[in-house]
Amino acid sequence: MIEPFDDTYFMKKAMQEAEVAYEQGEIPIGAIVVVNNQIIARAHNLTETLNDVTAHAEMQAITAAANFLGGKYLIDCTLYVTIEPCQMCAGALFWSQLSRVVYGARDEQRGCIAMGTKLHPKTKMEGGVLSAEASQLLKQFFIEKRNLN
């Protein structure tokens, strides 16, 4: 049986990216961009690999999606990301004019909601999809990091 394309289906794909990040020693955050039920970009955090504080999963996904579409605006696209975007990523999402953002877990300290960052007026944001799974992966990562140091 083919799984239906819904928010949970696509968030599972973003979680797969987060798991790749985890395996590479990156903070396990994954993102995908979808248009017309087609995944056009997959990304995960690369801040350690690239030695670049801006190499968040969302930033990588925005760039990949824009390259795929051949333009800088992501109108009619949905970003699925395993944790609520930070202020920097929310700013980039604003400028990309993304239509929708779906995130897994909230980031109570550094997320765009806590920071008061606004998305583009036409961008809808929804959260809580696979929140427990996304939170657990992050917690596990940081527990392991603390125990290694």
| CATH number for the domain harbouring residue 99 | 3.40.140.10
For residue 30 the two structure tokens come to 């994954």
* Counted domains in the chain: 1
Q: Detail the residues annotated as belonging to a binding site.
A: 56, 86, 89
**What distance in Å separates the CA atoms of residue 73 and residue 140, rounded to the nearest whole number?**
35
* Within a domain: 146: no
Structural domain harbouring 51? 7-140
Average pLDDT, the chain: 94
* Within a domain: 55: yes
Q: How confident is the model at residue 1 (pLDDT cuts 50, 70, 90)?
A: very low
* Within a domain: 149: no
Contact 88, 56 (CB under 8 A): yes
* Within a domain: 145: no
**What distance in Å separates the CA atoms of residue 130 and residue 73, rounded to the nearest whole number?**
27
* Within a domain: 69: yes
* Within a domain: 41: yes
User: Per the residue annotation, which of 58, 84, 126, 133 is the catalytic one?
Assistant: 58
Per-residue confidence (pLDDT) for residue 36, from 0 to 100: 94
Which of residues 73 and 146 earns the better pLDDT score?
A: 73
* Within a domain: 2: no
DSSP 3-state percent helix, strand, coil across the chain (nearest 5): 45, 20, 35
Q: How confident is the model at residue 4 (pLDDT cuts 50, 70, 90)?
A: low
- Whether the predicted pLDDT of 119 surpasses 80: yes
3-state secondary structure of 141: helix
For this structure, is 133 an active site residue?
Answer: no
3-state secondary structure of 55: coil
Q: Detail the residues annotated as belonging to a binding site for Zn(2+).
A: 56, 86, 89
* Within a domain: 42: yes
CA distance readout (Å), 110 to 1, 33, 90, 115, 129: 40, 22, 11, 7, 19
